[in-house]
Amino acid sequence: MKFIKLESYEALSRAAADIIAAQVVQKKNSVLGLATGSSPLGTYARLSEMCGAGEVDFSDVTCVNLDEYVGLRAENEQSYRYFMNKNLFSHINIKPEKTFVPNGCAEELAREAAEYDALIERLGGIDLQLLGIGLDGHIGFNEPDEFFTKETHVVELDVSTIEANARFFARREDVPTKAITMGMGAIMRAKKILLIANGKKKWEILEKAMYGKITPRVPASILQLHPDVTVIYSET
């Protein structure tokens, strides 16, 4: 695991965008695994800028997102599909049909989950997976549990996750209690992983994930077993 500490969120975002852009420059038809949350906002803004300046071309890239809330439609401003369209896809030259986010409104969520894994497999797996980390150590929405789940699956969100994400919703009651998330299988099979975290409050869990016991109680700790992980952290 390579650990990089940078002086600011701005520097973190630039460094993360550079890594993603380098991946796309090296392999035009890369499959990027993408994340939501506040952490990647700066990275996405920087990638949008780089694409606008002709420094990176997303026309052959495919994106597969980690997760989605159950019950939120794409038009809902709190859905992760909406977030991705607003913060990245609408600013870069990616083909809309090459952007994938699990459908949290699918009638049969178990089937949606299985199809999402089949899609990732058909794409040949993920070349570079971008991750944030939740305060409870979750990646995607793989919450602390007694075991790691390999496949894409539906999860009950932890109270701490609901509370942490309530800032994006008008009322706490509006935060969905369930989500559909990529499992550890697709994440761990990604050829490269880039985890970004900013803010002092993330340090304690990040340190546990990087150097602590490998346990499903700290889902991100599984990344210690991956051969190519870069973690970028900034205190601000």
* Residues in touch with ligand GLP (CB under 6 A): 35-39, 66-67, 132-134, 140-141, 161, 165
- Cβ closest to ligand GLP, residue 19 vs residue 66: 66
Query: In this complex, which beta carbon is closest to ligand GLP, that of residue 116 or of residue 141?
Result: 141
Residues contacting 28, CB < 8 A, separation 6+: 57, 59, 60, 61
Catalytic residues: 67, 136, 138, 143
Query: Based on CB atoms, which residue is closest to ligand GLP, 67 or 127?
Result: 67
Place of tokens 């650990």: 3
Which residue's CB comes closest to ligand GLP?
132
Backbone dihedral angles phi then psi of residue 24, each to the nearest 5 degrees: -70, -35
Per DSSP, what are the bridge partners of residue 5?
A: 233
- Smallest distance from ligand GLP to CB 65, Å: 9
For residue 182, with 0-12 CB atoms within 10 Å meaning exposed, 13-18 middle and 19 or more buried, which class applies? buried
For the bound state, the minimum distance from the C-beta of residue 168 to ligand GLP, rounded and expressed in Å, comes to 8
Give the number of C-alpha atoms closer than 13 A to the C-alpha of residue 134, restricted to the C-beta side: 22
The minimum distance between CB 160 and ligand GLP, in angstroms, equals 10
